[in-house]
């Protein structure tokens, strides 16, 4: 009996230590301005959390009503801490325990375990090799003994497998092995964005803008397949070594029908939409609210309050269209939010990537090789037409020309990475990869020529020589680098050299595209 008592005491001590660690870590990580300072609010949340942990579940809600005294932000923080404190055995007490798989073990006659990646309340995740397909996967062994739960998981996987977007972690299969069930997913080598935020505090506005576009594209595909996520948060966003961000853990997704949702807690309180907290029907707009909270946190380093201040109050250089999209997503009334992920993505399409590209990133980028489309724009030397105009007129002409080119590039997602006198090196499909980058580049080149022609007609009576813009375009692998002492990226390699050579060969007013690019755009 004495040994049993010591065991129980040790178990309770371990859980208490873990609870204290969770509370302290969350308080440090979520403090707004100074990561080294634990604010009074989070200290209060930690105290209430630890007290609530000692109460039976039925008594926690009345206690929180009393302890939080109507402070909804404090209540949300305590509820999130309690969500982290789920005892795995309480979810399905009858489920048999999972015996950890050692490296080298063969699971289900097919998956060779490499290493354990993590453990949560619903199961254990391993890096494994699918020996049948010779493919590295994430193997998630789930803790459940309920036939209904297993059938629900199988339905969810059938839905999730339909989503094939780069911003969504692919789900491959769901199966059973003995008394255990498991699913296999795309393995993303990297870290979750919540961990990244702990290291860097917040991300640069241009990086958040790029991430928002990626994630909204992925959500649009998922929602079109009838899949809701219901637990979007930085911890469920993975960033790989190339900077690609993808959504993971669609394991609690539902096919859009609230009645079909699992009879298990879903979502994290601090990121939940009001209708999700109240148990009302969920929709795509529920995911958009959670995404809005996440993007706000990525931008500012803190989560929004119930009536959030615009992110620009903390980060002055945030893109106004990104800010507007985030604030719309955070509307308490679902009807006031964007009606879909595609609509919210459209709110960002007219933003100014040219300006965003000039802002410093959150961290220096390592050189990376990737397939991009490169445009080299060579504008005529001002000395060719300057003699016929005054210095003031020349300044006006060059300003109008620069603005015209910039607007075209912004409209089609071109990013200027190098300026060489009157020449510009422009990348399409960077930093966010786009399948239609070659078409965007060709369209932009033709529109630049048209814009310059209009300017020439306006000023032709005063110019000693016509405007002349030469453009070369090529697509292929290139190396993109952002050194620590630079504010602009630069690209190099044969693809860049080819684009420059094409521009130099072009006649005035001509666009030369490589044969490879023409094949890709079908011309």
Q: What is the pLDDT of residues 322-378, one digit of tens each?
A: 999 999 999 988 998 999 999 999 999 754 434 333 333 333 345 566 788 999 998
Predicted pLDDT of residue 351: 40
Predicted pLDDT of residue 34: 42
Confidence of residue 107 (pLDDT cuts 50, 70, 90): very high
**In sequence order, what are the beta bridge partners of 135?**
130
Name which of 33-37, 71-75, 343-347, 417-421 the model is least confident about: 33-37
Confidence of residue 137 (pLDDT cuts 50, 70, 90): very high
Q: Following CA atoms 316, 319, 321, 327 in sequence, which dihedral angle do they give, to the nearest 10 degrees?
A: -50
Mean pLDDT of 461-476: 77
User: How many angstroms from the chain centroid is the CA of residue 110?
Assistant: 32
Q: Given the structure tokens 């959670």, which residue do they identify?
A: 290
- Please check the confidence at residue 409 and state whether its pLDDT lies above 80: yes
Mean pLDDT of 475-481: 84
Mean pLDDT of 77-91: 59
Tell me the CA distances in angstroms from 191 to 98, 236, 252, 370, 481, one per residue in order. Answer: 25, 10, 21, 20, 21
Mean pLDDT of 38-58: 64
Contact 328, 338 (CB under 8 A): yes
The CB density around residue 455, as the number of other CB atoms within 10 Å, is 16
Predicted pLDDT of residue 69: 82
Of the two residues 210 and 39, the one the predictor is more confident about is 210
- Please check the confidence at residue 260 and state whether its pLDDT lies above 70: no
Which of 91-95, 253-257, 348-352, 381-385 is most confident?
A: 348-352
Structure tokens at 95: 């489920």
**Rounded distance between C-alpha atoms, residue 225 and residue 165, angstroms:** 11
User: How many angstroms from the chain centroid is the CA of residue 444?
Assistant: 27
Of the two residues 518 and 33, the one the predictor is more confident about is 518
- Length reported for the chain: 523
**Rounded distance between C-alpha atoms, residue 189 and residue 422, angstroms:** 41
Mean pLDDT of 171-196: 89
Strands 415-420 and 423-428: antiparallel
Helix (H) or strand (E) holding 289: helix 284-300
Predicted pLDDT of residue 7: 36
**In sequence order, what are the beta bridge partners of 115?**
127
Predicted pLDDT of residue 522: 76
Name which of 96-100, 198-202, 214-218, 410-414 the model is least confident about: 96-100
The pLDDT tens digits for 292-303 are 999 999 999 998
**Rounded distance between C-alpha atoms, residue 475 and residue 485, angstroms:** 28
Name which of 138-147, 256-265, 452-461 the model is least confident about: 256-265
**Rounded distance between C-alpha atoms, residue 215 and residue 195, angstroms:** 18
* Percent with pLDDT over 70 in the chain: 72
Contact 212, 201 (CB under 8 A): no
Name which of 74-88, 161-175, 398-412, 485-499 the model is least confident about: 74-88
- Please check the confidence at residue 398 and state whether its pLDDT lies above 50: yes
Helix (H) or strand (E) holding 469: strand 469-482
Confidence of residue 388 (pLDDT cuts 50, 70, 90): low
Predicted pLDDT of residue 84: 53
Tell me the CA distances in angstroms from 130 to 77, 111, 462, one per residue in order. Answer: 40, 5, 71
**Which of 266, 268, 249 lies closest to 80 in space, CA to CA?**
268
Of the two residues 311 and 402, the one the predictor is more confident about is 311
Confidence of residue 417 (pLDDT cuts 50, 70, 90): confident
- The catalytic residues are 231
Q: Where are the alpha helices (DSSP H) in 304-433?
A: 320-329, 341-346, 353-356, 391-412
Helix (H) or strand (E) holding 512: strand 511-513
- Please check the confidence at residue 71 and state whether its pLDDT lies above 50: yes
List the Cα angle 117/118/119 in 5-degree steps: 150
Confidence of residue 253 (pLDDT cuts 50, 70, 90): very low
Mean pLDDT of 193-211: 92
**Rounded distance between C-alpha atoms, residue 20 and residue 41, angstroms:** 16
**Rounded distance between C-alpha atoms, residue 436 and residue 428, angstroms:** 9
Structure tokens at 410: 């912004």
Confidence of residue 474 (pLDDT cuts 50, 70, 90): very high
Angle between helices 40-53 and 72-84 (to 10 degrees): 50
* Percent with pLDDT over 90 in the chain: 26
**Rounded distance between C-alpha atoms, residue 231 and residue 290, angstroms:** 7
Local structure of 456: helix, strand or coil: helix
The pLDDT tens digits for 421-446 are 678 899 998 766 777 889 999 999 99
Contact 470, 504 (CB under 8 A): yes
Tell me the CA distances in angstroms from 143 to 55, 89, 116, 140, one per residue in order. Answer: 26, 9, 15, 10
Confidence of residue 20 (pLDDT cuts 50, 70, 90): very low
Mean pLDDT of 470-488: 73
Mean pLDDT of 215-224: 92
DSSP 99: P
Predicted pLDDT of residue 352: 42
The average confidence (pLDDT) of the chain is 77
Predicted pLDDT of residue 520: 83
- Please check the confidence at residue 61 and state whether its pLDDT lies above 90: no
Predicted pLDDT of residue 1: 37
Mean pLDDT of 122-133: 90
**Rounded distance between C-alpha atoms, residue 523 and residue 515, angstroms:** 9
Angle between helices 320-329 and 205-224 (to 10 degrees): 40
């Amino acid at each position: 009996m004495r040994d049993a008592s010591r065991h129980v005491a040790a178990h309770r001590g371990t859980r208490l230590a873990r609870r204290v660690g969770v509370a302290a870590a969350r308080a440090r990580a979520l403090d707004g301005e100074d990561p080294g300072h634990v604010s009074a609010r989070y200290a209060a949340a930690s105290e209430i959390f630890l007290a609530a942990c000692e109460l039976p579940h039925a008594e926690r809600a009345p206690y929180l009503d009393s302890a939080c005294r109507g402070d909804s932000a404090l209540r949300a923080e305590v509820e999130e801490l309690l969500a982290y404190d789920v005892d795995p055995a309480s979810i399905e007490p009858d489920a048999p325990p999972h015996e950890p798989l050692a490296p080298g073990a063969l699971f289900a006659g097919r998956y060779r375990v490499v290493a354990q990646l993590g453990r949560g309340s619903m199961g254990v995740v391993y890096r494994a090799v699918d020996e049948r397909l010779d493919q590295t996967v994430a193997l998630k062994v789930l803790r459940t003994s309920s036939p209904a739960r297993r059938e629900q998981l199988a339905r969810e996987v059938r839905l999730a497998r339909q989503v094939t977007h780069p911003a969504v972690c692919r789900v491959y299969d769901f199966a059973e092995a003995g008394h255990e069930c498991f699913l296999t997913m795309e393995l993303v080598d990297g870290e979750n964005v919540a961990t990244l935020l702990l290291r860097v505090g917040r991300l640069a506005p241009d990086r958040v803008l790029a991430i928002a576009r990626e994630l909204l594209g992925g959500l649009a595909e998922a929602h079109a397949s009838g899949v809701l996520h219901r637990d979007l948060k930085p911890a469920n966003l993975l960033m790989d070594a190339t900077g690609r961000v993808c959504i993971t853990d669609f394991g609690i997704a539902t096919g859009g029908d609230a009645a079909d949702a699992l009879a298990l807690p879903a979502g994290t309180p601090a990121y939940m939409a009001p209708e999700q907290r109240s148990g009302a029907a969920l929709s795509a707009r529920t995911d958009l609210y959670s995404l809005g909270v996440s993007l706000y946190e990525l931008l500012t380093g803190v989560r929004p309050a119930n009536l959030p201040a615009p992110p620009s109050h903390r980060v002055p250089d945030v893109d106004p269209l990104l800010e507007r999209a985030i604030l719309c997503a955070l509307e308490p009334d679902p009807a006031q939010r964007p009606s879909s992920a595609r609509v919210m993505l459209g709110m960002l399409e007219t933003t100014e990537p040219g300006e965003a590209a000039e802002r410093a990133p959150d961290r220096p980028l390592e050189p990376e090789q990737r397939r991009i489309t490169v445009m080299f724009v060579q504008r005529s030397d001002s000395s060719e037409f300057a003699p016929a105009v005054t210095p003031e007129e020349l300044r006006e002409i060059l300003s109008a020309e620069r603005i015209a080119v910039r607007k075209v590039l912004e409209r089609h997602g071109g990013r200027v990475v190098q300026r060489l006198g009157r020449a510009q090196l422009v990348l399409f499909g960077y930093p966010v990869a786009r399948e239609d980058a070659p078409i965007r580049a060709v369209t932009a080149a033709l529109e630049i020529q048209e814009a310059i022609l209009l300017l020439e007609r306006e000023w032709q009576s005063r110019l000693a020589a016509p405007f002349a813009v030469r453009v070369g375009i090529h697509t292929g692998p290139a190396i993109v680098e952002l050194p620590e002492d630079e504010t602009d990226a630069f690209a190099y390699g044969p693809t860049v050299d080819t684009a420059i050579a094409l521009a130099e060969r072009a006649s005035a007013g001509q666009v030369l595209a490589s044969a490879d690019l023409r094949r890709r755009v079908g011309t």
